[in-house]
Amino acid sequence: MFILDMYIVYLFRLKALMRGDIVLRQILGEIEEELLTLEDDLTYWVDTNIELIRQPLKDMILSGGKRLRPAMVLAASRFGNYDFENVRQLAVSVELIHMATLIHDDIIDDSPLRRGIPSIQARLGKDVAVFAGDFVFCKVFELFALSEHFSLLRIVAKTLHLICEGEIKQREDLFNTNLTFKDYLYRIRRKTAMLFALSAELGARASKAPERTVRALHRYGMNIGIAFQIVDDMLDFSSNDDQLGKPVGADIREGVITLPTIYALKYSNQKNSLKEIIAKGFTHESDVIKAVEIVKNSGGLDYAKRIAEKYVYRAQQSIAPLPDIPMKKVLADISTIVVNRNR
């Protein structure tokens, strides 16, 4: 009976990891056991005696997620002296950072859902959610303090302040219809791509990979992160609520001007109408629907897809000189899959 129970738990966690997620199906063949172990670790590190947040945090972990960042740590570490136990806590740390930023993002955006379930701020209120996000961030520093990689904390701290800059820049630019591609790139490099790059760098450095390999993997992570965010911004216009786990048009509704909208504001034959709608601040739901349609009809999604593919190509070129180990092909495949996902 015990064996059967353990098997059921295993299947549940595997389902959570793979729920509609072709990206993880691709990498599980190489690091399946390690990723499943990390699920246990994540649950352990967010455990608390405070009943108010204990279950919501665990529910957020069990709701799945792509686990791309910890997978990046594990993959990058294969280019050095790979030892799972050596990089295990680093892989957990980047997912906890990601988790904390999502909790805070949902507070700012007043998001009712996260990964298809009620967000922590929707369940507990914004005040408690702020402390829940801070709690998870603090766990990251505790984890580093107890690990053998305390020296890497300097890199982590620098990345965190850049991520915060990206998030603050996004707030500063709300409803700004004069944003350029350069402005957009500055923002997404910090708010999203930096954590991908950090994940790859941590794995490579912890396994003592050559410095040129560390730099190559850092570039790979940065380019994948940029492509990932561009696709995320496309999906805000093209996916349905069930796929995204949040309402379609959520970004533009909040005044977040992303690449498809930047394109539409410059090239759509309804660009003036779009500017007026955004300037009004979406006082009616019909405004959101019209803005989404203008962006979709402008060719902005196709343009964004081409730009994402450009950064995928850069990512693949970044790792081209690296040794031809099995994980190199996995990284190349992931980079392609990133632009073809639907959630």
What are the tens digits of pLDDT across the range 205-238? 999 999 999 999 999 999 999 999 999 999 999 8
Residue 10 has pLDDT above 50, yes or no: no
Phi and psi at residue 240, to the nearest 5°: -95, 170
- For the domain with range 2-338, which CATH number is right: 1.10.600.10, 3.50.50.60, 3.30.1300.10, 1.10.260.30? 1.10.600.10
Q: What is the pLDDT of residue 333?
A: 81
Nearest to 308 by CA among 211, 201, 252, 229: 229
Give the contacts of 233 (CB within 8 A, at least 6 positions apart).
Answer: 251, 258, 259, 260, 304
Q: What is the pLDDT of residue 113?
A: 82
What are the tens digits of pLDDT across the range 83-141? 999 999 999 999 999 999 999 989 988 888 887 789 999 999 999 999 999 999 999 99
The more confident residue out of 246 and 107 is: 107
d(CA 199, CA 224): 11
Q: What is the pLDDT of residue 28?
A: 54
Computed over every residue of the chain, the mean pLDDT equals 88
- Helix 153-172 vs helix 126-146: crossing angle, to nearest 10: 160
Residue 181 has pLDDT above 70, yes or no: yes
Q: How many CB atoms lie within 10 A of CB 253?
A: 18
What are the tens digits of pLDDT across the range 54-68? 999 999 998 877 888
Give residue limits of the domains in the chain: 2-338
Q: What is the pLDDT of residue 35?
A: 86
Q: How many CA atoms lie within 13 A of 147 on its CB side?
A: 21
Residue 3 has pLDDT above 50, yes or no: no
Q: Percentage of the chain surpassing pLDDT 90? A: 70
pTM: 0.89
Residue 33: pLDDT band (50, 70, 90) is confident
